[in-house]
Amino acid sequence: MDEPSGSRLARLWWLWAIIGVLIIMAAGILLTQRAALAAPEQPIAFSHNLHDEAGVQCLFCHPNPMRSDVAGIPSVERCVGCHGVIATDRSEVQKVLGFWERQEPIPWERVIEMPDHVFFSHQPHLQSGVSCETCHGDVGQMTVARPTRRMDMGWCLNCHLEQPEEKVALLADCLACHK
């Protein structure tokens, strides 16, 4: 026995509505992921790659993770420590020197920012042998610094759960990251 055509149309309409919602959700997820991995516009075209090739280590420009919770963004004074004499003829270095002469900080945009409800310290990670590249990717090969992965709770927790069994209970405790 055939169904009434109105019932068939209603089912077809619902099917297309569900497909439409799924497409919109997938697009939203992809766009959010893309935005999370985008490089912010910076006031100076800084090349991590160029500095890495010159042998500059992460902790030279970002010395804070060994003595505080944050890596910190290098000060103009840190930059001028080298660029007061190195590559002073390059336009981007001249911009750095301009900030120095005006006694203004370089208004760098953060590349990675944790939500306010997350407590993160670089210290225990570095002390336990986690390299900068584990979380930040191979920044030394980047011309423009950008996030290489979405550092969300699931990503962090996966790494915490891969640690030695005697540490997992402490590292999986909510208060390890949420204070």
Q: Could you give the CA distance from residue 24 to residue 15 in angstroms, rounded to a whole number?
A: 14
pLDDT at site 24: 81
Q: Which helix (H) or strand (E) holds 157?
A: helix 153-161
Q: Quote the Cα angle for 59-162-116, to 5°.
A: 55
Instruction: Sort residue 129 into left (φ over 0), alpha (ψ -120 to 50) or beta.
Output: left
Reported pTM? 0.66
**Cβ count within 10 A of residue 145:** 20
Q: Could you give the CA distance from residue 8 to residue 115 in angstroms, rounded to a whole number?
A: 48
Ranges of residues in the chain with a pLDDT under 50 are none
**Residue 82 exposed, middle or buried by CB count within 10 Å (0-12, 13-18, 19+):** middle
Q: Where are the domains of the chain?
A: 1-36, 42-71+114-179, 74-107
pLDDT at site 4: 64
Residue (of 130, 121, 127) closest to 159 by Cα position: 130
